[in-house]
Each structure stands twice: as C-alpha cells, then as structure tokens.
C-alpha cells in the first residue's frame, strides 16, 4: 500500500511539474541549475545584509545538521591512513565545503553553474580550495581519493544519477554520499523525476544507490552519520571502491 500511495504522489507531482519536466528535456544541467540560482528557487541568503547572489538552500545552512556532518567527515578522515585528496561535487555556495578543506591535502570543488564557481573563487580563495566548472553526469572528472556528494543526487533524474555513478566509480576510491529518505516506514526507493530544483522527498521517495535501477557495487558501504531533518532522514554513507 505504501508503494502505491507513493507512486500516486509521484504521478501527481510530475503532472504539477510537467513544465519543469519539459525544460529538463531540452536544457543542459548548466542551464537548469543556473536558472534555479538566478530565480532563488532554494531561497535567498539567510543574512540579507551580505547581499550574496547564491544560496544553496537551508539544508546547507542548518547549524546542527552542518555541524554533525562536518564532525562525521572529520572523524572518518582521521581514521584513514595518510593524507587524502577530495573532490566536492555540486559544491553550491560552499558554506559546508569551506569547513572541510582543512581536512584534506587537496580539495577541488565542482559545480555546473559558471557564475557560482567564479563567485566562490573570489569569496573562498583564502581556504586554498580549487574550483572548476564541471558536470558529474557528463564531464571528465579529475581522479582523487574521495568524492563528496551531499544532497545533489536528490535533484537529478535516474539517468543522470546513473551517469554520475559510472563517472565516480571509475575515478575514486571512496564515495561519501549524503541523501535523504522518508524518516519512518517503508518507502519506494529511486522513483524517477526530472532533473531540477525538486526532490524525491516531495512525493515520498528517497535514494538508495545499491538498489535498482542503480545497483551500485562496492567493497563495502558504511553509514557514518544518520540524522533527522524534518520528516526526512539524512544518511551519510561511505562506499569503498578499492580492490582487494
């Protein structure tokens, strides 16, 4: 019954957002997410006096959520032998990434929005991070030890997620993925949606990259953080792609 209800919610959501779906069919990811930022689909900066142009949503600024996430990443990094190089995919306004930079020997932050990357280059130059315009679903990504993907896939279609996972699987030893799912009860995982501002949580679905249609294979998958955010649950999972 839960699956049927969720599926009906998906159909209703897709009907209401059919215009966005049509845009997603005819636009590049760069154009889609540039428009999202320019039209403030994820809200405006919490401190309006700063007059900053880019804001990646409350999920990137909720103090408790961010603090717990940064601490969990720090503990995991400290548990690893040697220093690590990281790539941050969908870095957004870099409020979170800026706190992670000191944990890694090298830190490259990627986003598909050129103006956002230029903004971050200027604002966050003091962190030592490098920034680059790139689309994880289509572009060649520089290899590194770790790739960080935090609440990015929730905005992508299943096809784009599959392409991103292929890219990641071939270029990194570890994927640290944070995504949301309904906080209680069974749910229909991985229901499809067009790439854009909305998420699967809006129709009661969530992501599990080890289930169909993605069926991600890895050496191990270790949950390093689980925390509630509203009626959703955020899981941060480390996927180990290293060979024996």
In the chain, how many domains are there?
1
Residue range 33-75, pLDDT digits in tens: 999 888 877 766 655 545 567 877 777 888 899 999 999 999 9
Q: How many CA atoms, within 13 angstroms, populate the side-chain half-sphere of residue 33?
A: 26
Distance from CA of residue 210 to its chain's centroid?
16
Q: How far is it, in rounded angstroms, from Cα 140 to Cα 125?
A: 24
pLDDT in tens, 115-172: 999 999 999 999 999 999 999 999 999 999 999 999 999 999 999 999 999 999 999 9
pTM: 0.89
Residue 159 is part of which domain span? Answer: 2-240
Tens digit of each residue's pLDDT (9 = 90 or more) over 87-100: 999 999 999 999 99
Question: By CB neighbour count within 10 A (0-12 exposed, 13-18 middle, 19+ buried), where does 3 fall?
Answer: middle
Output the domain CATH number for residue 203.
3.40.50.150
């Amino acid at each position: 019954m839960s699956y049927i209800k969720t599926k009906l919610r998906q159909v209703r959501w897709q009907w209401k957002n059919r215009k966005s779906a049509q845009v997603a069919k005819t636009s590049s990811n760069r154009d889609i997410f540039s428009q999202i930022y320019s039209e403030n689909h994820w809200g405006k900066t919490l401190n309006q006096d700063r007059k900053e142009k880019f804001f990646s949503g409350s999920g990137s600024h909720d103090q408790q959520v961010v603090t717990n996430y940064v601490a969990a990443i720090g503990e995991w990094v400290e548990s690893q032998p040697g220093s690590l190089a990281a790539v941050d995919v969908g870095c957004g306004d870099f409020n979170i990434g800026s706190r992670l930079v000191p944990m890694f020997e090298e830190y490259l932050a990627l986003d598909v929005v050129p103006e956002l990357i230029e903004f971050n280059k200027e604002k966050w130059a003091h962190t030592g991070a490098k920034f680059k315009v790139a689309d994880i679903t289509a572009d060649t990504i520089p290899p590194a030890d770790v790739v960080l993907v935090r609440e990015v896939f929730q905005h992508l279609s299943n096809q784009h997620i599959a392409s991103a996972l292929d890219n990641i699987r071939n270029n990194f030893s570890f994927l640290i993925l944070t995504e949301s799912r309904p906080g209680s009860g069974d749910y229909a995982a991985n229901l499809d949606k067009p790439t854009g501002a909305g998420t699967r949580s809006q129709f009661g679905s969530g992501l599990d990259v080890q289930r169909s249609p993605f069926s991600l294979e890895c050496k191990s998958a270790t949950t390093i953080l689980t925390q509630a955010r509203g009626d959703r649950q955020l899981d941060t999972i480390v996927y180990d792609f290293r060979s024996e």
